Amino acid sequence: MSKQGNGGMTPAAARKVEYTIIGLGVLALLMIFQPFNIVLFTIGCILVVVAGLINNLLPLARPGVPGRSVLKAAMIVAMIFCIVLVVAIFAAHLYGVFFLKPPDPNTAMGKAQLAAKPWYMHGFTWTVAAIAVVLPFLLRFVSRKENS
């Protein structure tokens, strides 16, 4: 990874990490504001969120910072994002339970809502929850490996 004695990133590697992070944000904005394709717009919207999260790693894009530190910070950001996402999904569910009228089974919209899978049966929800549970153990493993 580097030729420096402390195992940190070289100036070229740090510059590459910095330009990649900034380039991802610029690419996301270009995809959002292009007028041609709705799929590119959707991908751009997702990339804006990802780029915003990855921007938290910019302070670590310096020469001499170990690559393991960048990886550890990325895992912490991902873990926090997954936890917040699961809490937000659950809060939206509670909002619907307490503040919205139940669907009317006599209307087409009500039938569609009643036929939909509940939020806790979607694979996406369980995938995000699993990632949120696994990342702390991975962080502990990385920290243990770093200390020994």
Q: How far is Cα 121 from Cα 140, in angstroms, rounded to an integer?
A: 30
Q: How far is Cα 148 from Cα 131, in angstroms, rounded to an integer?
A: 26
127 has pLDDT over 90: yes
Percent of the chain with pLDDT over 90: 70
pLDDT tens, residue by residue, 98-109 = 998 888 999 999
Are 67 and 44 within 8 A, CB to CB? no
Buried b (16+ CB within 10 A) or exposed e, 60-92: bbeeebbbebbebeebebbbebbbebbeebeee
35 has pLDDT over 60: yes
Residue ranges per structural domain of the chain: 1-65, 66-148
pLDDT tens, residue by residue, 63-98 = 999 988 899 999 999 999 999 999 999 999 999 889
Residue 1: what pLDDT?
A: 47
Q: How far is Cα 57 from Cα 71, in angstroms, rounded to an integer?
A: 9
- Where residue 142 falls among pLDDT bands split at 50, 70, 90? confident
Q: What is the pTM of this model?
A: 0.78
Q: What angle, rounded to 10 degrees, do the helices at 67-99 and 38-54 form?
A: 120
Average pLDDT, the chain: 90
